[in-house]
Structure 1
Amino acid sequence: MALTFYYSPQSSASRVHDTLTALGIPYEEKRVDLRAGDQKKPEFLALNPNGKVPTIVLDGTPMFESIAIQIALGERFGVEKGLWPALGSPEHLTALTWLCWGQVTLGASLFRYMHNTSEWHPKEQHNAAQAAAALKELGEQIGMLDAHLKGRDFVTGPRLTLADIDLVSVLGWGLDFAKIDTTPYPNVAAWIARTRKRLPPHSAS
């Protein structure tokens, strides 16, 4: 097995790094300098025509889009290591649901808030109404996750999976960036603490 991981710090590649660390599988790291435009070089575009990270090459085959990468890693390496439910099981369907929800639904609201408030985006593009709407959506979405976690240690039940690791990676920076108080979401707060305790020491969530 040969795996190369293309990443940039403080990007969505962090969640893939967390997963790779948790799985404990060997891989080669290659840093992509986004500010220098490494992601637009022909050799990188040959692997990922989107020109974005994360990207992996697994046994010679390039993959991009973090959802696809996480599912592939879970199915190939996670079941044996107890970090991904058996394919076709009820827990597997639940893990897929929440993994995709975190990156698509929750992620969209976080990025919309960031786009309208962050210094990474020009101030003339900021829209206070859009930021407020995104923040409201985030509160509703975190509340939905909080309700799901009631009576559960992790999103699929009693066992930690890559879906938890990925979701905590998203929320880890999202809650801090949006300055969201977790007091109204005690189940989410407790779940984040439980998940972080289970992560390897070098994980970057």
Structure 2
Amino acid sequence: MSITFYYAPQSNAGRIRVSLAELDVPYEAVRLDLRAGDQKKPDFLAINPNGKVPTLVIDGTPMFESAAIQIALGERYGVQKGLWPAPGTPEQLTALTWLVWGQVSLTGALFRYMANTSEYFAKEMHNEKQAEQALAEIHGLLRILDSRLEGRPYVIGERCTLVDLDLASVLGWGLMAAKIDFSEQKNLKGWLGRIGERPSIKAAMAET
């Protein structure tokens, strides 16, 4: 078994780094300098034609798109370690649902809000109405997640899984970068606090 992990600090690859640390599987890390254009070099494009991170090569097979990578890691390494539900169980269906929800619905709304408000995007690209709509959507999604956490410590149940780690990676960056107040969501706040104490999350957030 061999894993090569292509990443860049402060990027979407952070969530995969967290999962690899939690799973405690050996891998080779290859750091790309995105500003220097490492992701556009022919050798890397041969692995991931999108020219993006994260990218994983498992036993010679390249993978991209973080949702697909998380599922593969969960199914291959996470079941035994209690970080992913067993195949064919209701919990597995729930895990797949919330993982994709976080990377599509939640991340999509956060990105739309950032694109219309953040200094990382040119002001002429900002649209106040679109920002308002995205912010309203984000708050609605946060309420959904807060409701899911009512009466349970983690998204799937009693144990932390890759779903929690992935969602917390999204929110840990997104809520801070977008300066979104989520103080009304008490369940969400407590859950983020628990996840944030894990060494893998602390290391990923601190990486520069």
TM-score range, shorter chain: over 0.9
For 1:161, the equivalent position in structure 2 comes to 161
Q: CA deviation at 1:119?
A: 2.5
Partner of 1:106: helix, strand, or coil?
Answer: helix
Report the AA paired with residue 57 of structure 1: V
Distance 1:151 1:199, change over 3 A: farther
Number of equivalences? 205
Corresponding residue for residue 93 of structure 1: 93
Residue matched to 1:44: 44
Where 1:44 maps in the other structure, the secondary structure is helix
Correspondence list, 1:26-175, <5 A:
26-175=26-175
TM-score (norm 1): 0.96
Q: Which runs of 5+ in 2 are unaligned?
A: none
* C-alpha distance in 2 between matches for 1:152 and 1:89: 19
Distance in 2 separating the partners of 1:170 and 1:132? 20
Q: What CA deviation, in whole Å up to 9, does each residue of 1:41-97 have, x standing for no partner?
A: 111110111111100111101000000000000000000111101011111111111
Alpha-carbon contact 2:8-2:32 (below 8 Å) kept: yes
Instruction: Summarize the Cα distance change of 1:10–1:201 in structure 2 as closer, same or farther, 3 Å threshold.
Output: closer
Q: Compute the RMSD of aligned alpha carbons.
A: 1.3
Retained in 2: the 8 A contact 1:106–1:141? yes
Q: Secondary structure at the match of 2:83?
A: coil
2:179 aligns with 179
Aligned to 1:192: 192
2-structure distance, mates of 1:203, 1:155:
22
The question of whether the paired residues in 2 share the 8 Å contact of 1:135 and 1:178 is answered with no
Contact 2:18–2:201 under 8 Å retained in 1: no
Asked if 2 retains the 8 angstrom alpha-carbon contact of 1:21 and 1:203, the reply is no
Check conservation: 2:21, 2:200, Cα contact below 8 A: yes
In structure 2, the CA distance between the partners of 1:46 and 1:167, relative to structure 1 (3 Å rule), is same
1:108–1:29 CA distance, 2 compared to 1 (3 A): same
TM-score, normalised with respect to structure 2: 0.94
Q: Distance in 2 between matches of 1:198 and 1:31?
A: 23
- Report sequence identity in percent: 61
In 2: Cα distance, 1:201 partner to 1:50 partner = 27
Structure 1 residue ranges without an equivalent (≥5) = none
